[in-house]
Amino acid sequence: VQIELDEFSDGRWPWWIAGPALGLLVVGFFLVSNQPLGASGAYAETAKVLTGRKDAVSWRVWYLVGIPVGGFLGVTVVGDGFEARTGYEPLVEAWNSNWVVGAVVLVGATVMGYGARMAGGCTSGHGICGTAQRSPASLAATGTFMAVAIATTFLLGLAGVK
Amino acid sequence: MQSSLGYKIAGLLFGAGFGFVLAAAKLHEYEVIHAMLRLEEAYTFLLMAGAIGVSMPLLWLLDRAKVTTLLGGRIALSRSKVTKANLVGGALFGAGWAVSGTCPGPAVVMLSSGAGLAVLTVLGLFLGLTLRDRQVARAGGSATIGDGEQRTASTGS
């Protein structure tokens, strides 16, 4: 009950709306394009375009452009609106320096990107789209990154991150 | 390879829809992701279960019915076997996800919602992905394309 009250008081869509909505987008994109919607692959194709390679799958770039556009609309229509901030307030509070937090975030994101490319997908690719296809590889990758992320967060808690 | 206009429009629209829902659920907020990973809030787990709970049975049904998609021919699901790369890569991804408090989709929403340090998150993602691609290319192989990523064999992509 507490969780549901929180959801409505902080303006989030309840999980039973947002979750099925994501699920329907995945199914809808299969019906249109016969393709799954992993985000990390879209980064990889966009990186190819940015480095001048000719073999990029170009619709993926349009997909990656769509996400922040839709996100901005979502923040404006449903959320608290565009707000200039670091985005990492709990880390800044724990370590008291934007530079330290920036460096840690950059390293963390680099490891995340490397891992996603090695695993062949991320939370959207393996976690939702692959799992929805009942893919053994996606289920294994999802179970692994969930478990390691929970363990790493526990360790960060020991390092004073709230 | 150039995709057809239909694929590009569909990609843009579904990307926008995906980003909108991520923002509406505040999955671009560090606090929301960490409340899940600290096991303090069931919200994001339930949301993922809701997404899979809807899409898994529907894709199963559509596949059984041999539905023809609008642009991509007969619907096809990918169900690869587990490899070591899925597990090692997954573990690295999980550690990086916890530290950066966001994953590739929500990271660009974070950026467009005004989070300044998300510039470094997005930059790091590009760096890491490219690093892996270069490493694999030097070894003479090609990148692991998981079952949630694009299938280049499909028509029009």
Tens of pLDDT, residue by residue over A89-98, are: 999 998 999 9
What does the alpha-carbon distance between residue B10 and residue A34 come to, in Å, rounded to a whole number? 11
pLDDT of B156 over the 50 cut: no
Positions in chain A whose pLDDT score sits under 70? 1-9
Query: What pLDDT is recorded for position B151?
Result: 78
Of A116, A128, A123, nearest in space to A29 by CA: A128
For residue B151, the chain A residue with the least C-alpha distance is A35
B40 CA to centre of own chain: 24
Are the C-beta atoms of residues A60 and A42 closer than 8 Å to each other?
yes
- Counted across chains A and B, CB pairs separated by less than 8 A come out at 559
B155 vs A13 pLDDT, higher one: A13
Task: Report the C-alpha gap between B67 and B81 in whole angstroms.
Answer: 24
Three-class secondary structure of residue B78 per DSSP: coil
Asked if B101 and B34 count as a contact pair (C-beta separation under 8 A), the reply is yes
Which DSSP helix (H) or strand (E) runs through B74?
Answer: strand B73-74
pTM, two decimals, is 0.94
CA distance A6 to chain B (A): 10
Q: A7: nearest CA in chain B?
A: B43
Please state, as a whole number, how many other Cβ atoms lie within 10 Å of the Cβ of residue B79: 13
Cβ–Cβ of A113/B125 closer than 8 Å?
yes
CA angle at A39 for the pair A35 and A43, rounded to the nearest 5°: 110
Residue of A22, A21, A14 whose CA lies nearest to A39 = A22
- What is the spatial distance between Cα B49 and Cα A65, in angstroms, rounded to a whole number? 26
> In A, which residues are within 8 Å of B65 by CB distance?
none
* Alpha carbon distance, N-terminus to C-terminus of chain A: 24
Q: What is the CA radius of gyration of chain B?
A: 18
Across the range B146-154, mean pLDDT stands at 77
Is residue B153 very low, low, confident or very high in pLDDT (cuts 50, 70, 90)? Answer: low
- Give B99-141 pLDDT, tens digit per residue: 999 999 999 999 999 999 999 999 999 999 999 999 999 999 8
List of residues 6+ apart from A11 with CB closer than 8 A: A78, A79, A80, B26
pLDDT for the residue B1: 62
Distances (CA, A) of A135 to A3, A128, A141, B148: 31, 10, 10, 9
Question: What's the whole-number mean pLDDT along residues B15-35?
Answer: 97
Contact between A43 and B104 using a beta-carbon 8 Å cutoff:
yes
Instruction: Give pLDDT, residue A1.
Output: 43
Per-residue pLDDT at B154: 44
Residue B115, helix vs strand vs coil? strand
Cβ–Cβ < 8 Å for B38, B123: no
Cβ pair B30, B101 in contact under 8 A:
yes
Distances in Å between the Cα of B127 and the Cα atoms of A56, B90, B139, B143 are 17, 17, 18, 15
Q: Is B72 helix (H, G, I), strand (E, B) or coil?
A: coil
Cβ neighbours of B75 in A, within 8 Å: 30-31, 34
A100 touches chain B (CB under 8 A): no
B16 closest CB neighbour out of A55, A69, A88: A69
Task: Tell me which residue has tokens 């990390």.
Answer: A40
* pLDDT-based confidence at residue B155 (cuts at 50, 70, 90): very low
Angstroms from A48 CA to nearest CA on chain B: 9
**Is A106 in Cβ contact with B14 (below 8 Å)?**
no
